[in-house]
A and B are shown apart, each in its own frame.
Chain A
Amino acid sequence: MTLENEKTDAGGKSLWAGAWHALKGSWLAMASLGIILVFAVTAVYGEIVYWRYNIINTNPPEVLVPVQKVLARVLMAGNVKGQIPPYQRQDLDFQYKRPGWSCVKAFDGSVKTRFFLMGTDGLGRDVFQRIVQGVRIAFQVGIITSLIAIPIAILFGCLAGYFGGWVDDIIVWLYSTVASMPALLFILSISMVVGKGLTGVYLGIGLTTWVHLCRLIRGEVLKHKELAYVKAARVMGLGDSRIIFRHILPNIVHIIIINFSLRFPAAIETEVIMSFLGIGVQNEPSWGIMISNARFRLWYGVWWELVFTTLAIFLIVLAFNLLGDALRDALDPRLRKQQEEV
């Protein structure tokens, strides 16, 4: 409480401390952060459920077999061995049940009562469980596509901005080429080539969405290259890679963070569209597949699957958009300065 405060008071607030302070001050930002946290916890829960039922059936490479065994023990996978995971469990007695308690007379005359938070779909599967799995897929897509796209963007952006010359020419050519490809169609055709499934989704989105960030980083590195601290580092005889990654990169990392918070919802939406079209996730409950299934049922009054699924997408995308805005206001000093001038 004491030391840190004294330090910041003496030297002014660091960018991060200031940003956190600004975020804390905005209830909208905190609310969206809360929503994201809830979704993240749900994703982890979905992951646990998924692996609890599936870890025994996977055949990992030899090295990972002990890990598999430990995980199976931790998740108590043995207790559910041979059972169908809850999000796939069908019960034709409970077709299209509204959210809440439902009571049916089964074929053999017995009365069954079950509770469905968000109703059931045409095969009597619990919509809530499927939406949870959708959260899991959405987070996977958001994170893994970022892990593909952001390093590409950083590497190319830094190289182009720092070295200039022919390196710059080639990288600019490369990203203007990728930017010229018709976005969604390009993503879809990449995943068609890779093969339908999550890998196709990851590669399709990851390999096409680095352009915007790359452009931003290149521009920023170009600016920083001329600043005194970089020149000083160069005079001190530091290597290029050290200057780029240890000196310039920390100064532009806020751009990457803002970009991450905006790319995440975009990736989720793209995945939903891909799965909806039948090119994305296969044999797993993804939001796209759920919307695709629920779409025509809406016309017969079965609203819950569609409404809850779209609500989930809407909430997570909205939360990320709002957080991205708040982060931009908090982290981008240029914007902050502009606002002060006004």
Chain B
Amino acid sequence: MIPTVLGVILVTFVLFNVAGGDPAMLKLGKQATAQRLEEYDVQRGYDKPLICGMWGKTRAYRSDFRFSAAPWGNIPAVVYTNNPNRLILPAGREYSVPLSFELKPNTDYRWELVCRDGGWSEPDSARFVITSGTTVVKVVSLNADLWKKRFVEFRTPAEPGDLKFSFHVAVAPIEVKSLALYKRAGGFFDSQLFFFLGQIVRFDFGISAETNQKVSIMILGGLVPSLILTVPIFFIGLVVQVLLALVCAYYRNRFIDRFFVVISVILMSVPYLVWIIGGQYVFAYRLHMFPVWGFESLKYVILPVLVGVFSGIGGGLRFYRTVILDEVYKDYVRTAFSKGVSKRGVMLKHVLKNAMIPILTSVVMAIPFLYTGSLLLETFFGIPGLGNLSVNAILSSDFDVVRAAVLVGAVIYVIANLVTDLCYAFVDPRVKLR
């Protein structure tokens, strides 16, 4: 169980933090200022290093000369050229690095730059200079024949507004292949991964960028309506499916059995959306038997529950029928019959009890479906549950809520799995808990 939980956390982390690209950009859009993007990042820990390390990214300066000259494009005299893609800063000028916003006061930062000068200029003819007002804070010589990576670390003063970073190129042009600014993290393990783990431990997933509510409160608030919807679907559905399957097994290979088998394949093939749209149209809109949309009283839940139960019958009936038929041909059934137990008694007492193990397994397999099944039901019938919440969050690229919903759903599944394992011990005396 614990490895699976760790796996779930890891998969969620990889999906949203590693593969997720730039959540801030997705959420706030391309028009957002670097400052606002940075605030979003800081709030959600995206400015920290990924797994561990001392240096995290900052949006105060971002460039990728492999793809474009931004943000150097409009600076006079600067040349952007290819093979390899690089900036050329011609001699005889000063070039100050264009920052998107002021750096944070009293914080450690670090420049990483890769540059060369072609190898024929005098020593110290090209320098990277950090000045604060009129005082020079740091000077680094940039002369190198070949591409060389340099780190320039510095600490911002209390008033970082005067801070200026510039290339002083005196004799020969300097070529810059990459330039990046990093911010020092709080510690070696002050990273996105551990930030996320901390969030999980505290059950505090931050604040949704869309609704400005605490994500954990949104999730907890959505849980109750979801359960009101899914628990009845689950149990009513299970009872109906198993009963029908028993009927089929009872009359196996006769008309009733054949009829239900055909019906179940047909029911299975009806798209889930059609169940919902059709149910809503016929029972709520045409016949006015139930309200169409909303979540105010128990009456609002009946139709979604019915739809949920009906949509599940096809697949469930087919599955349980095979499960029960598997049992029907076993020796103990023959023994029971030869002892003179009635057919009904054999079905209900002997067969059902033994079929309980695969039924239990399938019940657990159905739990994730409940989560997703309710996703659509909730959207259609306007039930403010987890499904509705996560669909809205996905549509508005609200990473925090989606991530929390995925994680909670997965953890619920893992717990349910554990509970079934415990149930095996009650159902099957051969299984012993160690």
Contacts and interface: CB of A to CB of B under 8 A. Distances in A.
Contact of A185 (B8, B281, B371): B371
Contacts of B431: none
A279 B393 CA distance: 12
Interface string B8-32: 1011000110011100000000000
Interface size class of A (residues with CB under 8 A): 35 or more
B268 interface: yes
Interface stretch (B120-128, B341-349, B372-380): B372-380
Contacts, number: 121
A139 B391 CA distance: 26
Contact of B409 (A174, A177, A185, A291): A185
B423 interface: no
Contacts of A322: 265
Contact of B402 (A176, A192, A265, A298): A192
B102 to A, nearest CB: 32
A193 B16 contact: yes
B11 to A, nearest CB: 6
A178 B368 CA distance: 11
Given A176-B7, A192-B402, A182 B410 contact: yes
A187 to B, nearest CB: 9
Contacts of A178: 11
A265 B269 contact: yes
Contact of B271 (A184, A298, A310, A341): A310
A310 B273 CA distance: 9
A185 B20 contact: no
Contact of A273 (B273, B281, B414): B273
A321 B410 contact: no
B269 A321 contact: yes
B220 interface: no
A229 interface: no
Contact of B266 (A190, A193, A318): A318
Contact of B395 (A176, A182, A193, A277): A277
A192 B273 contact: no
Question: Interface residues of B: mostly helix, strand, loop or mixed?
Answer: helix
Contacts of A189: 15-16, 394, 402-403, 406
A184 B274 contact: no
A184 B379 CA distance: 14
A336 to B, nearest CB: 14
A331 interface: no
Contact of B265 (A177, A192, A313, A325): A325
A179, A184, A185, A276 pick with most chain B CB within 10 angstroms: A185
Contact of A173 (B3, B21, B372, B395): B3
B383 interface: no
A181 interface: yes
Given A182-B409, A186-B406, A193-B19, A318 B369 contact: no
B271 A182 contact: no
B101 interface: no
B271 A313 contact: yes
Contacts of A325: 265
A181 B329 contact: no
Interface in B189-243: none
Interface string A278-318: 11000000001001000100110000001000100110011
Given A298-B277, A321-B265, A321-B269, A193 B21 contact: yes
Contacts of B410: 180-182
Nearest to A203: B19
B372 A183 contact: yes
B394 A279 contact: yes
B407 to A, nearest CB: 9
A314 B394 contact: no
Given A188-B394, A273-B273, A317-B271, A182 B368 contact: yes
A273 B272 contact: yes
A173 B274 contact: no
B405 interface: yes
A310 B7 contact: no
Nearest to B264: A321
Interface of B: 3-4, 7-8, 10-11, 15-16, 19-21, 265-266, 268-274, 277, 281, 285, 329, 368-369, 371-372, 375-376, 379, 390-391, 394-395, 397, 402-403, 405-406, 409-410, 413-414, 417
Closest 10 CB pairs of A and B: A177-B7, A182-B409, A184-B372, A318-B269, A317-B269, A182-B371, A310-B274, A180-B413, A180-B410, A313-B271
Given A295-B277, A314-B269, 5 more contacts: A181-B409, A192-B394, A265-B269, A269-B271, A279-B394
Interface of A: 173-174, 176-186, 188-190, 192-194, 265, 269, 272-273, 276-279, 288, 291, 295, 298-299, 306, 310, 313-314, 317-318, 321-322, 325, 338, 341-342
29 contacts: A173-B7, A176-B4, A176-B7, A177-B4, A177-B10, A178-B11, A180-B8, A180-B414, A181-B8, A184-B375, A185-B372, A185-B402, A185-B405, A189-B16, A189-B406, A190-B15, A193-B15, A193-B16, A193-B19, A193-B20, A269-B272, A277-B394, A291-B273, A298-B277, A313-B274, A314-B269, A314-B274, A318-B269, A321-B265
